[in-house]
Structure 1
């Protein structure tokens, strides 16, 4: 059987899973929707030649990229197709929105801004993030709202593979999303098994017990207060954003600090070859340890109160593998870096810190 999958990041994951675990599949190709749309290229109809089954998620547009056009083309060629919804659900993150670190972005929760503004200090803010009473009303209403949007989309698009029932029946038992639009292995397994059943192909049984996450590079923390307000049977408060901060995981405390204005957390981006100097001498000869850094390197940092006439003293957050400065005070030359605070507004200009 020859398959073609048309979609975005989820389509790439589905291709990878089906190629690895699909039985009787000779070929799986992909057309990435955002790539051809960005290039203003038409859908490559020649890619449909010899295809037995097309899998795609609907796209709503007022131009040629509306997938109703693709459906008509497939029907005219008598090619079978299966539609699945865009795999997004933000029930674990009330009213989630993109937050920006300069031109880089990730998912965040604006409600934490209000929580921070109503807290006298970071310790009170952290306590509130762990308190289910702070989220009881909004967590339930936001979960219902994102679920309703998903259900309405499934009905309007007449998708063949639905995920809403599976989510509502299982979201408390196991983590179904790592971020609002990155499903976990549990939801991908549900989707792939449905696709296989409808498409008439088999899946290697080992996929049923696989625990490898297909999209592990980003994780949005589920706040303990939200987890308890929703009655989740698991905890998942780790923060990861390897799409622009490769090789580092962050504690919930560090994530919360990034949401609290006076905690002074910045994304630092090196603009020139530079060095990071560990404040505490770490070399046998007593001289400070200096670590070279290439342009473009990104670090999540927290400014400290220590003063230095020529350098800025900071703490590098996260676990980067560079154990020489993890969690230790370091000095950086501010002229060699640009600094971004997190914001829910449009990408900001670099901020100088002294």
Structure 2
């Protein structure tokens, strides 16, 4: 019996989504995974045959402004029509509204003990000249962090706006479960429970269906390399950690930050590590003036 051929197009969530899709129905074979931020337009020929042979193309919504042309949703729709099933990037800031990226022009994201993620409270405290100890207290203080409470509703509003443009919805699923257990490690890294539930909806929409349960997502998280503590003001589940789950990092002679093995940090330890990076690179990268 021939397999149902599927191509998945998306960001870092595409690989775990592909694994889950295959696990839910052994008649499905994911023949290619196009990770959009790793691709350039001239690589289309590497994927063309997979797109043409596919029975289904599952694609995260990619706007027309995206530099790689062939992963844009409109481009895929124009060539492959009904084979394309559009989905959203799973994204929710409710657990970690104070974490963000620092992108340096012509240099890319600034890295640190949480990979590409930085904390607004920590950076702001460093800019103010506040001690490591006081910054750590701010990080864990529910009253200080109340400023982030509107993020929950704002994040859901943004998600609903995005999913109005796709074929498979998900906001209702997140709203139903986000207070029961932690569903996102960072704002763009969901747990496997959520990815699995979304995959079930994707297959149902594609009229393929679920026929297997052998994959156990609770035992095989794939996007949990970085897990900051949940913001203390949001009243949401923190998960099982009592510390920030990150990595060791170092700064070389060219002032480039490299990351290494996994490491867990207390709030004071992670603030101290961020301060070390900001002190070393702050003037060079104009971090004193960066708006937080």
- Per the shorter chain, which TM-score range? 0.7 to 0.9
Q: Which is worse superposed, 19-28 or 114-123? A: 114-123
The equivalent position to 1:7 in structure 2, one of 6, 10, 31, is: 10
| 1:37-56 alignment runs, 5 A limit | 37=40, 40-42=42-44, 44-56=47-59
The unaligned stretches of length 5 or more in structure 1 are 268-338, 348-354
Answering whether residue 172 of structure 2 is matched by residue 165 of structure 1, we say yes
Q: Distance in 2 between matches of 1:56 and 1:162?
A: 13
Hey, what does 2:93 align to over in structure 1?
90
Answering whether residue 273 of structure 2 is matched by residue 258 of structure 1, we say yes
Q: Distance in 1 between matches of 2:129 and 2:97?
A: 19
Change (3 A) 1:5 1:131: same
Hey, what does 1:218 align to over in structure 2?
226
Q: Contact 1:15–1:28 (CA<8 Å) still a contact in 2? A: no
Per-residue CA deviations over 1:201-224 (Å, capped at 9, x if unaligned) read: 3252243663321123232x125x
Hey, what does 2:236 align to over in structure 1?
232
Hey, what does 2:149 align to over in structure 1?
140
Per-residue CA deviations over 1:263-318 (Å, capped at 9, x if unaligned) read: xx249xxxxxxxxxxxxxxxxxxxxxxxxxxxxxxxxxxxxxxxxxxxxxxxxxxx
Q: Contact 1:4–1:54 (CA<8 Å) still a contact in 2? A: yes
Q: CA deviation at 1:254?
A: 1.6
Hey, what does 1:16 align to over in structure 2?
19
Q: Contact 2:20–2:196 (CA<8 Å) still a contact in 1? A: no
Secondary structure, in 3 states, of the residue corresponding to 1:49? helix
Q: CA deviation at 1:53?
A: 1.0
Q: Distance in 2 between matches of 1:99 and 1:149?
A: 21
Change (3 A) 1:251 1:142: same
Secondary structure, in 3 states, of the residue corresponding to 1:2? strand
Secondary structure, in 3 states, of the residue corresponding to 2:149? helix
Q: Distance in 2 between matches of 1:36 and 1:119?
A: 41
Change (3 A) 1:180 1:233: closer
Number of residue-to-residue matches in the alignment: 262
The equivalent position to 1:207 in structure 2, one of 202, 215, 236, is: 215
Answering whether residue 117 of structure 2 is matched by residue 107 of structure 1, we say yes
The unaligned stretches of length 5 or more in structure 2 are 250-257, 288-292
TM normalised by structure 1 equals 0.63
Change (3 A) 1:108 1:211: same
Change (3 A) 1:72 1:88: same
Larger radius of gyration: 1
Secondary structure, in 3 states, of the residue corresponding to 2:28? coil
Secondary structure, in 3 states, of the residue corresponding to 2:259? coil
Answering whether residue 136 of structure 2 is matched by residue 121 of structure 1, we say no
Secondary structure, in 3 states, of the residue corresponding to 2:198? helix
Q: Contact 2:248–2:262 (CA<8 Å) still a contact in 1? A: yes
**Which structure would you say has the larger RCO, counting Cα contacts within 8 Å and 6 or more residues apart?**
2
Q: Contact 1:52–1:80 (CA<8 Å) still a contact in 2? A: yes
Change (3 A) 1:174 1:26: same
Answering whether residue 202 of structure 2 is matched by residue 195 of structure 1, we say yes
Q: CA deviation at 1:238?
A: 1.9
**Structure with higher helix content:** 2
Answering whether residue 36 of structure 2 is matched by residue 33 of structure 1, we say yes
Q: CA deviation at 1:100?
A: 6.7
Q: Distance in 1 between matches of 2:162 and 2:117?
A: 21
Q: Distance in 2 between matches of 1:346 and 1:164?
A: 38
Secondary structure, in 3 states, of the residue corresponding to 2:32? strand
TM normalised by structure 2 equals 0.75
